[in-house]
């Protein structure tokens, strides 16, 4: 909505009066709004981050959508349908926030469909059993909540407001997931084994969701200074592990990490080394489902083309006869 | 042609005025309202929706902020606390 008067060039350096005023506003916890002056790099960073976040929500609908028609009861089906619809909504809130920075929705979509844009590595893993749906809600949405709560205070107003809306909806996602896993764990031996198998497969990819370790995370410093980010990747990962391990033990499940142990002095759960080669492979397009996910998005986009065209033609005709 | 952008305003059940919620893309106003319903009111958040073509909104320029809003800073006599009422009179 505000994109008409956006700054297009960045003639200033970090020491320009505008840049100094900008940083002072951020230090003062003020929100930056679409029409305000901002460094070009701040705008670029946000466009990249918000659109990647939006793409993740949209692609994230696919692994769970896979089980909607096979949900074991009407209650589970209604809940899963509502959850997947929420994720679509999250994607749309976020595209809407990104557009206030002066990018067109069509360009963002194009970046995703052409494979140039990144999205969260986690959605390139397959959902092999119903237990995966419970585990995704519990762990993937749980990790997303850890990531998203600090973003509600992000310095960029439209992003922060979108995140507040998202966070309000996420809690249902995590609870419905945990309930599914709990039901399986209280069920037959086979059902409990399904839950354990899902945890075994999803645990490490979930830890990777927080991104590379702080020692080699590229953009962190500037993002922290701009208050786009408020906690480090490793900090959030630790918070997630500390919150999740007791929940898993309550279920009677075992985490697939022989090194996992509680450090009394630190008050934290210590975990083993993460396989960062796997993370990089998935991120660069070689995960188990990367190709399938993009193909599904492209097919949906192409199959919907005639609907978009017809709607525009109808609108044009209505304007003419009005 | 790109699908037009619409700004969405929701009036919530608490009786306050319509409030900006975000935006949607839609070919026409009817579809914009339907999309806004699906995207911004999935949990009974609203009792009324407005959709407005984004390019119809005229926004004030942040660079004009001081010129527009600064003058009221010195007009403290517009606030009730500017006026003295003796304690004996009680709450007014
Ligand atoms: Fe989400
Ligand atoms: Fe979610």
Two structure tokens written together for B85 = 């009422």
Q: Which of A301, A283, A313, A309 is nearest to A108 (CA)?
A: A301
Q: Is the pLDDT of residue A3 over 80?
A: no
Instruction: Identify the residue among A99, A105, A315 best suited for mutation to test binding to B, counting B beta carbons within 10 A and taking the highest.
Output: A315
Q: Is the pLDDT of residue B13 over 50?
A: yes
Determine the pLDDT at residue A218: 63
Mean pLDDT over A239-248 rounds to 98
Question: In the predicted model, what is the mean pLDDT of chain A?
Answer: 93
Mean pLDDT over A58-69 rounds to 97
Is B31 part of the contact surface with chain A (CB cutoff 8 Å)?
A: yes
Each domain of chain B, given as residue ranges in start order, spans 5-89
Q: Count CB-CB contacts under 10 A for residue A298.
A: 14
Q: Which of A158, A253, A154, A166 is nearest to A201 (CA)?
A: A253
* ipTM of the complex as predicted: 0.85
Which residues of A, range 90-149, sit inside 8 Å of B by Cβ? 92-93, 96-97, 99, 104-106
Instruction: Give residue A15's pLDDT band: very low, low, confident or very high (50, 70, 90).
Output: confident
Question: In the predicted model, what is the mean pLDDT of chain B?
Answer: 92
The DSSP output letter for A26 is: H
d(CA B54, CA B58): 9
Least confident of A29-43, A45-59, A233-247, B57-71: B57-71
Q: How far is CA A56 from the centre of its chain?
A: 5
Torsion angle defined by CA atoms of residues A262, A266, A271 and A275, in that order, rounded to the nearest 10 degrees: 180
Query: B24-66: per-residue pLDDT in tens?
Result: 999 999 999 999 999 999 998 889 999 999 999 999 888 888 8
Q: At what angle do helices A105-113 and A290-303 cross, to 10 degrees?
A: 140
d(CA A52, CA A49): 5
d(CA A136, CA B43): 22
Q: How many CB pairs under 8 A join A and B?
A: 58
Determine the pLDDT at residue A217: 67
Closest chain A C-alpha to B77 CA, distance in angstroms: 28
Cα A86 to ligand 1 centroid, rounded to whole Å: 7
CATH code for the structural domain at B5-89: 3.10.20.520
Is B54 part of the contact surface with chain A (CB cutoff 8 Å)?
A: yes
Spatial contact of A263 and A248, defined as CB atoms under 8 Å apart: no
Query: A135-154: per-residue pLDDT in tens?
Result: 999 999 999 999 999 999 99
């Amino acid at each position: 909505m505000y994109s008409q008067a956006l700054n297009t060039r960045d003639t200033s350096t970090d020491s320009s009066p505008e840049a100094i005023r900008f940083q002072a506003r951020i230090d003062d916890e003020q929100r930056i709004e679409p029409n305000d002056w901002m460094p070009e790099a701040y705008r670029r960073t946000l466009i990249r981050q918000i659109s990647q976040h939006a793409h993740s929500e949209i692609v994230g609908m696919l692994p769970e959508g896979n089980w909607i028609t096979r949900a074991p009861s009407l209650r589970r089906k209604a809940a899963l349908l509502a959850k997947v619809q929420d994720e679509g909504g999250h994607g749309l809130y976020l595209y809407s926030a990104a557009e206030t920075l002066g990018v067109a929705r069509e360009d963002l979509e194009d970046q995703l469909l052409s494979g140039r844009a990144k999205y969260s590595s986690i959605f390139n893993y397959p959902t092999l059993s119903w237990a995966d749906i419970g585990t995704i809600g519990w762990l993937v949405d749980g990790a997303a909540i850890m990531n998203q709560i600090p973003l509600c205070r992000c310095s960029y107003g439209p992003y922060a407001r979108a995140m507040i809306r998202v966070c309000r909806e996420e809690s249902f996602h995590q609870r419905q997931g945990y309930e599914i896993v709990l039901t399986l764990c209280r069920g037959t031996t086979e059902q409990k084994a399904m839950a354990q198998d899902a945890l075994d497969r999803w645990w490490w990819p979930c830890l990777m969701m927080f991104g590379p370790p702080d020692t080699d995370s590229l953009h962190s410093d500037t993002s922290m200074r701009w208050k786009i980010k408020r906690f480090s990747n490793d900090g959030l990962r630790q918070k997630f592990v500390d919150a999740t391990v007791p929940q898993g033990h309550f279920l009677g499940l075992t985490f697939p990490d022989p090194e996992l142990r509680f450090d009394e002095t630190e008050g934290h759960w210590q975990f083993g080394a993460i396989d960062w080669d796997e993370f990089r492979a998935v991120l660069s397009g070689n995960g188990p489902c990367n190709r399938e996910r993009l193909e599904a998005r492209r097919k949906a986009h192409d199959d919907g083309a005639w609907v978009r065209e017809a709607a525009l033609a109808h609108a044009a005709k209505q304007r003419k006869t009005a | 042609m790109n699908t037009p952008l619409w700004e969405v305003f929701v009036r919530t059940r608490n009786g306050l005025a319509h409030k900006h919620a975000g935006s949607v893309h839609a070919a026409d106003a009817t579809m914009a309202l339907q999309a806004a319903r699906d995207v911004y009111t999935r949990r009974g958040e609203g009792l009324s929706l407005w959709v407005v073509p984004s390019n119809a909104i005229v926004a004030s320029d942040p660079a004009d902020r001081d010129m527009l809003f600064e003058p009221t800073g010195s007009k403290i006599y517009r606030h009730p606390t500017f006026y003295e009422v003796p304690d004996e009179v009680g709450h007014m």
